[in-house]
């Protein structure tokens, strides 16, 4: 529980750093993990993680949107007993953020999905398991699962049944992937689906032996050839299979009718991820959806799409009884607090945590979570807030 009864001192922060593995001690912010990952990951793998679609306009806009707001702090407030706990869908989380779903995490970090899930569980925050993960959803200890689904009733029913039988309580349907986007950045760095062994990948592996030995070879020896494990009711194809791209077929048929089908068959919490329109938020609320994640897919789908933070206020006004979460561009505790002040109930962060897993495994993710939660606590004190419920639009001013 991240509840501070006294202000954390620089001495205690130093003590925590000294207990870390040596290679994590200089990781002082989420951005530090990205810089370290650039040296650690082969260019095709790094390009897949960091790249967006086409000209990366939406990718960069997601982070820039947070700079359009300034804080209006209050002073002379006793903030010695502040808490960043938050309740969401009947669960209490230690911090107002979780780990977003990320595909092929186990190729970026050894057993990446497990490292993310274990660190999240230890920190008492949620982690959303990806349907394009390379580790079976039944093996990953989490309660949130993200699905890409085709517009096919039978396949929807079968996957929903599998996820339900595995004990997941929250199902997140990603709705902004009707077709594969134009990720020409991936082509330029040599990444493709299916993943093809190339001279470029081989050379990059040779000059980055820590990833080659610690992730790739270790995975092949201990777990065998990675497969897409969670795209359907049965095991998917190997990541190097020519059939890998077929898992994306027929998503252009997905419609609100299929959402209604899922709402009837899924017994738990149902969330739609990829909402940027207030009109779509109203439709979701009318159909009994429990929550939406405001997201432009990290800039990886429609380039030029609205930044999530820009879309947030109108969606909050249209949400009805739903919870509204946000994903995309968050790199600091101040970003999380700005999103909450504009009406978000919760935030999800993706890339920084997989970078942390690549650099330090579960310990790296745990350190990244701790850095962000510590920032939030410190920022709350400087804002003059003792609880997240005190945050509102009055704490922000637009940058002119």
Q: What is the pLDDT along the chain (400 residues), one digit of tens a residue?
A: 444 343 444 556 666 777 888 889 999 999 999 999 999 999 989 999 999 999 999 999 999 999 999 999 999 999 999 999 999 999 999 999 999 999 999 999 999 999 999 999 999 999 999 999 999 999 998 999 999 998 889 999 999 999 999 999 999 999 999 898 888 888 888 887 777 777 777 788 788 899 999 999 999 999 999 898 898 877 777 787 666 665 666 788 999 999 999 999 999 999 999 999 999 999 999 999 999 999 999 999 999 999 999 999 999 999 999 999 999 999 999 999 999 999 999 999 999 999 999 999 999 999 999 999 999 999 999 999 999 999 999 999 999 8
Q: Is residue 376 part of a domain?
A: yes
Structural domain containing residue 367? 3-70+84-266+327-394
Residues ≥6 apart with Cβ < 8 Å to 209: none
127 SS3 class: strand
- Spatial distance between the Cα atoms of 76 and 397, rounded to a whole number of angstroms: 20
Long-range contacts of 206-210 (CB under 8 A, 24+ apart): 208/39, 208/40, 208/41, 208/42, 210/40
Q: Is residue 35 part of a domain?
A: yes
User: How many Cβ atoms are within 10 Å of 43's Cβ, its own excluded?
Assistant: 18
Q: Distances in Å between the alpha carbon of 268 and those of 89, 156, 347?
A: 10, 15, 20
Q: Is residue 301 part of a domain?
A: no
88 SS3 class: strand
CA diameter of the chain: 63
Q: Where are the beta strands (DSSP E) in 133-286?
A: 144-147, 170-174, 269-275
Q: Is residue 313 part of a domain?
A: no
Name the pairing type of β-strands 3-4 and 346-349: unpaired
Identify the pLDDT of residue 248: 66
Q: Is residue 116 part of a domain?
A: yes
The partner residues of 82 in beta bridges, in order of sequence, read 4
Output the pTM of the full model: 0.93
For residue 60, how many C-alpha atoms fall within 13 Å in the half-sphere facing its CB? 4
Q: Is residue 297 part of a domain?
A: no
- Spatial distance between the Cα atoms of 111 and 81, rounded to a whole number of angstroms: 38
Q: Distances in Å between the alpha carbon of 54 and those of 64, 152, 298, 370?
A: 18, 29, 13, 34
- Spatial distance between the Cα atoms of 172 and 275, rounded to a whole number of angstroms: 12
Q: List the structure tokens of 27.
A: 């990781």
User: Among all residues, which ones are annotated catalytic?
Assistant: 297
- The CATH code of the domain that includes 182 is 3.20.20.70
Identify the pLDDT of residue 232: 81
- Spatial distance between the Cα atoms of 152 and 388, rounded to a whole number of angstroms: 41
Q: What DSSP assignment string belongs to 311-358? A: HHHHHHHH-TT-EEEEESS--SHHHHHHHHHTT-SEEEE-HHHHHHHH
In the block, tokens 């396949």 appear at 155
Burial of 104 (0-12, 13-18, 19+ CB in 10 A): buried
Q: What DSSP assignment string belongs to 182-220? A: --HHHHHHT--SS----HHHHHHHHH-HHHIIIIIIHHH
Q: Is residue 143 part of a domain?
A: yes
Q: Residue 245 phi/psi, 5° resolution?
A: -70, -20
Identify the pLDDT of residue 181: 86
Q: How does 343-378 read in b/e, with b if 16+ C-beta sit within 10 Å?
A: bbbbbbbbbbbbbbbbbbbbbbbbbbbbbbbbbbbb
Residues ≥6 apart with Cβ < 8 Å to 62: 296, 298, 299, 307, 308, 309, 328, 329
Specify the number of domains making up the chain: 1
Q: Is residue 287 part of a domain?
A: no
User: How many Cβ atoms are within 10 Å of 285's Cβ, its own excluded?
Assistant: 17
């Amino acid at each position: 529980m991240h509840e501070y009864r006294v202000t954390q001192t620089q001495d205690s922060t130093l003590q925590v750093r000294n207990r870390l593995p040596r290679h994590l001690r200089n990781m002082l912010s989420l951005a530090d993990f990205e810089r370290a990952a650039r040296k650690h990951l082969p260019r095709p793998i790094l390009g897949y993680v960091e790249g967006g679609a086409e000209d990366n306009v939406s990718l960069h806009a997601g982070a820039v949107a947070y700079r359009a707001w300034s804080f209006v702090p209050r002073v002379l407030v006793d903030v010695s007993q502040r808490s960043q706990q938050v309740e969401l869908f009947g669960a209490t989380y230690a911090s107002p953020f979780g780990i977003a779903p990320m595909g092929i995490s186990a190729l970026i970090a050894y057993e990446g999905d497990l490292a993310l899930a274990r660190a999240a569980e230890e920190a008492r925050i949620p982690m959303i398991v990806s349907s394009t993960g390379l580790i079976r959803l039944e093996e990953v200890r989490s309660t949130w699962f993200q699905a890409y689904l085709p517009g096919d009733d039978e396949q929807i029913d079968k996957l929903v049944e599998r996820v339900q039988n595995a004990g997941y309580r929250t199902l997140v349907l990603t709705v902004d992937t009707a077709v594969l986007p134009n990720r020409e950045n991936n082509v330029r760095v040599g990444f493709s689906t299916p993943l093809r062994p190339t001279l470029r990948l081989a050379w990059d592996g040779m000059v980055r032996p820590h990833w080659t030995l610690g992730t790739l070879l270790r995975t092949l020896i201990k777990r065998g050839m990675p497969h897409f494990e969670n795209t359907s009711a049965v095991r998917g194809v190997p990541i190097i299979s020519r059939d890998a791209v077929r898992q994306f077929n027929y998503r252009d048929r997905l419609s609100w009718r299929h959402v209604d089908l899922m709402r009837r068959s899924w017994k738990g919490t149902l969330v739609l991820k990829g909402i940027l329109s207030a009109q779509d938020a109203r439709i979701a609320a009318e159909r009994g959806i429990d929550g939406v994640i405001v997201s432009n897919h990290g800039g990886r789908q429609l380039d030029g799409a609205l930044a999530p933070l820009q879309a947030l206020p109108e969606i909050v006004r249209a949400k009805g009884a739903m919870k509204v979460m946000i994903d995309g561009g968050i790199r600091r505790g101040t970003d999380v607090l700005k999103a909450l002040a504009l009406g978000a109930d919760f935030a999800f962060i993706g890339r920084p945590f997989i970078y942390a897993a690549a650099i330090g495994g579960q310990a790296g993710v745990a350190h990244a979570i701790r850095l962000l939660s510590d920032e939030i606590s410190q920022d709350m004190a400087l804002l003059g807030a003792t609880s997240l419920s005190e945050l509102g639009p009055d704490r922000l001013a637009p940058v002119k």
